[in-house]
Amino acid sequence: MPDKKQPLHRTSGRTGGAFLPTKHGEFTAYAYPNSGGGEAHLALVHGNLHTDEPVLVRVHSECLTGDTLGSLRCDCGPQLERALQEIGAAPAGVLLYMRQEGRGIGLAAKIEAYMLQETGTDTYDANVLLGYPPDGRDYRQAADILRDLGVRRVALLTNNPAKSSALRAEGIDVAREVPLEIAPGQHNWRYLAVKRQRFGHRLRLRAGGAAAGAQ
């Protein structure tokens, strides 16, 4: 647990670290200013990051409806829960909570996209019809945060190859991908299928339209 008498630590805009005990383990929390001008990004660090082994890392994009409200339209909430469990059980790990709601379009636009989806439009086309890219997330600041934490080599919790490629392009060595297996439900199986078919995520689709995978 950090010494409460020590001043706040600030490096490259970083504020922290505050001791954060959770049901998944003990973490140290750091806040980073959002270069996009929104709410601060959060880094949760578990264990000693000074290791020769790849550090288990999850780069999780904010999803208020799934992470906080328990929406069944997506798999974001269970992904966040599982990632914290796996990182908390690992010798060392980092969860980056990036404020990129709705694949980067923001909360209000995501709700508009939900309305389009209720008329049969999939998650890919809904963003496009609203004038946004299908996936507008930017991982450059995630890479900056990992470097600031001293992490250069990672085992990335994801099934999204584009996320791995984006981090590699920023100089982060993604040694391997660690899949998250999330059981599908009646409200999100089509969403998961679109992830695989149109976004290129590595998902396992089973008979009857069931799917599993990670954002």
Active site residues per annotation? 135, 137
CA distances from 66 to 45, 71, 195 (A): 22, 4, 16
> Can you tell me which residue has the tokens 């496009």?
128
Structural contact between residues 152 and 18, judged by C-beta atoms closer than 8 angstroms:
no
| Strands ordered across the beta sheet of 15-22 | 15-22, 25-32, 41-47, 92-98, 55-61, 153-157, 173-178
**Which tokens belong to 146?**
């990992």
